[in-house]
Chains A and B, each alone.
Chain A
Amino acid sequence: DTEVTQTPKHLVMGMTNKKSLKCEQHMGHRAMYWYKQKAKKPPELMFVYSYEKLSINESVPSRFSPECPNSSLLNLHLHALQPEDSALYLCASSPGQGRGQYFGPGTRLTVT
């Protein structure tokens, strides 16, 4: 298995909802990432997990809560989001320093 999968592909949620995005990889990669991408912009790094521990949080608001239950799974829990949080949320994994980073297809999130 050489891919990163993400579910759901699309998500529409209200500002009072709680939802979760899921990411999975079975390549044995020990670093996993969440990015946010707005239209016509580059991906912006949100969180980095290294060996299942949160190593980097790029000053992301607390309404985004990441979780890494095991080495293959990465979740992003969403609560009380704002319309400006609507974006493509990308998950990626990497085997280690200087060895590439591989992306999933993303979840298109719309906050109403």
Chain B
Amino acid sequence: GESVGLHLPTLSVQEGDNSIINCAYSNSASDYFIWYKQESGKGPQFIIDIRSNMDKRQGQRVTVLLNKTVKHLSLQIAATQPGDSAVYFCAENIYSNTGNQFYFGTGTSLTVIP
């Protein structure tokens, strides 16, 4: 698989503060990226995605930024809530004639302090 790494394995934030989770990827052929949230005992939940022809995309309380020059992706969560506590993964999509592959980064565990 390809290397998709995260800068910080754990992150603690105060409730109401903004959170930023970072991700580095290595394959310049990756053309699509997804952020997932995974709570304990559950499967990864799709949060937001971004295509390589964009540098920013906003959702409800979340924003993803993509910097292709340095192969860096970030997830910003506004007004972090206790329910946001989970592990967050970025995943890169590599499409080839053999199929549509997704490779995950190492994950960041986010803890929100009430």
A→B interface (CB under 8 Å): 4, 31, 33, 40-45, 48, 50, 55-56, 58, 90, 92, 94, 96-98, 100-106, 108
> What 8 A-B pairs come out closest when comparing CB atoms?
A55-B99, A42-B104, A103-B43, A98-B32, A48-B99, A97-B95, A50-B99, A56-B99
Provide 20 A-B residue pairs closer than 8 Å at the C-beta atoms, listed in order of the A residue.
A4-B43, A41-B106, A42-B89, A44-B104, A48-B99, A48-B100, A50-B100, A55-B99, A56-B98, A56-B99, A90-B44, A92-B43, A98-B51, A100-B34, A101-B46, A101-B93, A101-B102, A105-B43, A106-B42, A106-B43
Of residues 94 through 114 on chain B, the ones whose CB sits less than 8 Å from some CB of chain A are: 95, 98-107
A50 to B102, CA, bound (A): 13
- Shortest A55–chain B CB gap in Å is 4
B→A interface (CB under 8 Å): 1, 31-32, 34, 36, 41-46, 49, 51, 89, 91, 93, 95, 98-107
A101 to B103, CA, bound (A): 11
B34, B45, B49, B104: most-surrounded residue (chain A CB, <10 A): B104
Are B43 and A96 touching (Cβ within 8 A)?
no
**B105 CB contact (under 8 Å) in A42, A48, A56, A92:** A42
In the complex formed, the residue of A with least CB distance to B90 is A42
A92 to B45, CA, bound (A): 11
In the complex formed, the residue of B with least CB distance to A48 is B99
